[in-house]
Amino acid sequence: MSKRQACNICLRPLKTCLCVYVQQVSNQVSLVILQHPLEVHESKNSARILHLCLKNSQIEIGEQLSNALLQKIEEDSAYNLLLYPKTPEEKSLGILPPPEINPDYLARGLKGELPRLRLWVLDATWRKSRKMLYLNPALQAMPRLSLEKCPPSQYKIRKAHSENQLSTLEATCYALQQLEHHTVDYSPVFNAFAAFVTAQHAFLPSSL
């Protein structure tokens, strides 16, 4: 049996290529997505379309940061923030408590001054994301950004463990809006996501 042809941009089979939905936006705060390897070929994953829509973003595959990313954290002048909630069980898991966010750095970064702002996002299931955090002391050392009140998720193609659980795309866009004080219009990204969800829903059993 011949292997299905895949798009070399979105990595999806040509039949379900994401590129038709992509609408690019120039995000002010740069983004790095660390994607768990098991999410790469997950048909319902939203991180790839997020990366394609955001001009100022990169996506890396792996449970641990590459040497290049570690060097980037150590050597450049960016102020790195991790999008991740503080959870009470972390101490028992051996995860270090994060430092507090420096509001002065946030203000300076948005004015174009140094240090620049960079947001890091873990694209994985909740259980696997905790393992990724445990395996990466450099991520543990970053101040954490927690989301403020967000609209209900439109991620109807993947079962959520709670009604407040968002897709990687939704959570990241809301975090960027929060950091950028709504100065960037992310509606094209949400529109792309809505079209993607609608298309994916057609492949799912009617019970979902």
In this predicted model, what pLDDT tens digit does every residue of 96-127 receive, in sequence order? 889 999 999 999 988 888 889 999 999 999 89
Is the residue at 5 inside a domain? no
Residue 183 has pLDDT above 90, yes or no: yes
Q: Which tops the pLDDT comparison, 86 or 24?
A: 24
Is the residue at 14 inside a domain? no
Task: Of 19-28, 177-186, 192-201, give the lowest mean pLDDT range.
Answer: 192-201
In this predicted model, what pLDDT tens digit does every residue of 60-104 receive, in sequence order? 999 999 999 999 899 888 999 999 987 776 767 788 889 999 999
Contacts of residue 89, Cβ cutoff 8 Å, sequence gap at least 6: none
Is the residue at 12 inside a domain? no
Range of the domain at 88: 22-199
Q: How far is Cα 89 from Cα 15, in angstroms, rounded to an integer?
A: 43
Q: pTM for the full model?
A: 0.87
Is the residue at 101 inside a domain? yes
Is the residue at 16 inside a domain? no
